[in-house]
Amino acid sequence: MTPSLAARPAPFARGLGRAAVPLLFLLPSFVLYLVFALIPIEETARLGFYRWDGYSPQMPFVGLANYVAMVEDWKFWNALWHNVEWTAMTLVLAVGVALALAAVLARLRRGRTFFRVTFFLPNVVALSVVAVIWGQLYNPLIGPINLILRRVGLPGLAHLWLGEPATVLPAINVANSWQSYGFYMVILLAGLQSIDATIYEAAIVDGAGEWQLFRHITLPSLRNVMNLVLILAFINALRGFAMVWVMTQGGPVVASDLLATYIYRAAFVENQLGPAAATSVTLSVLVVATTALFNRLREEEAS
């Protein structure tokens, strides 16, 4: 071997060298992702076909029995329906309010930063902490909501907000929307930055009213971010856990149970790990399907 040849790496080594850089860059993230996400996802799917209490060394295969049990459990449908109601309330209270605020702020000449900063404030507070704060706001003994209703002469409207099946889910959702509307508003505002203020001025000169400005200028320019906001709102609604668990643990009885709290209870309170895993798989499929649907809609709209 001549020295000149040895100095140049063989083709194989060069190929290895070229692959070594991406490998080096990806390996740390991939190992963590594999161990703490990919393998657990596979394990959840597998566990859905077995019966296990978390302790016993026996883990019999039961086929689809866990899924059958899930479908036959009225509490599952109860939780799923609450997820639908929860999503609808979030769309009105968080996304709807965020959209209205973004539209108003887009037309505001001064003070936009002040409002944006203030409206985002609740979003930096952890959901579990928000749950503690709002649990006290709804407190029947010291809570200001009932206190104010009584003081302004409307004692009939005072409720045991978190104790009555009819009011518990809306009450928790108000707290959740209070925390999250600022997040959606900031994304919507980012979408509005592309609008030139002179477009509004020109439209006003042409005699357009505020509703027409909103309908024909603000809304169309929000189409792309609106899709994103809806995806996030749907996914967050399906994932919702901390708020309900801290405030009511899904109660009274199961009046505020969501799929996430239903799964938690099955897995860590009742030790029914098979059914809990089957429901986790169902929830995950719902989330992935929702995301795929929205992405499809966006692509169709774009084409």
Partner 1 sequence: MTAAVARPIAADRVAARGHARRGVGVGYVLLGVVLVATLFPFAWTILDSLNTNKGIFDGQLVPDALHWENYPRAWQTGRLQSYFGNSVVVAVASVALTLAVCCPAGYAFGRLRFPGSRLLFYAYLLGLTVPFQAVLIPIFYMLKSMGLIDSLLGIVLTQVGTGVPFGAFLMRNFFRGLPNELADAARIDGCNELSLFWRVMLPLVRPAALALLIFSFMGSWNDYLLPLIALQTDARRTLPVGLVNFSTQYVTDYSLVFAATVITFLPVIVVYLLFQRQFVEGISVGATKG
C-alpha 96/C-alpha 184 separation (Å) is 9
**Identity of the residue, 19 or 68, whose beta carbon is nearer to partner 1 in the bound complex:** 19
Residue 136 binds partner 1, judged by CB under 8 A? yes
**Identity of the residue, 30 or 77, whose beta carbon is nearer to partner 1 in the bound complex:** 30
Residue 260 binds partner 1, judged by CB under 8 A? yes
Q: Find the shortest distance in angstroms from Cβ 3 to partner 1.
A: 22
C-alpha 54/C-alpha 274 separation (Å) is 10
C-alpha 22/C-alpha 279 separation (Å) is 37
Contacting range for partner 1; rule: CB under 8 A; set: 5-13, 84-92, 160-168, 230-238: 230-238
Contacting range for partner 1; rule: CB under 8 A; set: 68-76, 80-88, 157-165, 270-278: 270-278
Residue 65 binds partner 1, judged by CB under 8 A? no
Interface residue with partner 1 among 10, 13, 16, 39 (CB under 8 A) is 39
Distances from the Cα of 300 to the Cαs of 218, 235, 240, 296, in angstroms? Answer: 21, 21, 29, 6
Cα 63 off chain centre by: 31
Distances from the Cα of 29 to the Cαs of 16, 17, 20, in angstroms? Answer: 20, 20, 15
Residue 137 binds partner 1, judged by CB under 8 A? yes
Interface residue with partner 1 among 10, 13, 16, 23 (CB under 8 A) is 23
**Identity of the residue, 182 or 250, whose beta carbon is nearer to partner 1 in the bound complex:** 182
Interface residue with partner 1 among 99, 127, 169, 217 (CB under 8 A) is 127
CA-wise closest residue to 168 among 266, 86, 265, 88:
86
Interface residue with partner 1 among 238, 244, 254, 255 (CB under 8 A) is 238
Interface residue with partner 1 among 19, 154, 199, 253 (CB under 8 A) is 19
Task: Please give the radius of gyration of the chain, using alpha carbons only, rounded to the nearest integer.
Answer: 26
Site for partner 1 in 144-173 (CB under 8 A): 144, 147
Q: Give the tokens for residue 2.
A: 């001549």
**Cis amide leading into 155 (omega within 30):** no
Distances from the Cα of 111 to the Cαs of 116, 118, 180, 290, in angstroms? Answer: 9, 11, 21, 37
Residue 12 binds partner 1, judged by CB under 8 A? no
Residue 57 binds partner 1, judged by CB under 8 A? no
Residues 168-207, one symbol each (x = binds partner 1 by CB under 8 A, - = not), give ----------x---xx--xx-xxx------------x--x
Contacting range for partner 1; rule: CB under 8 A; set: 71-79, 83-91, 132-140, 159-167: 132-140
The distance between the two most distant Cα atoms of the chain, rounded to a whole number of Å, is 100
**Identity of the residue, 255 or 281, whose beta carbon is nearer to partner 1 in the bound complex:** 281
C-alpha 97/C-alpha 55 separation (Å) is 48
CA-wise closest residue to 286 among 260, 257, 254:
260
Residue 209 binds partner 1, judged by CB under 8 A? yes
Residue 226 binds partner 1, judged by CB under 8 A? no
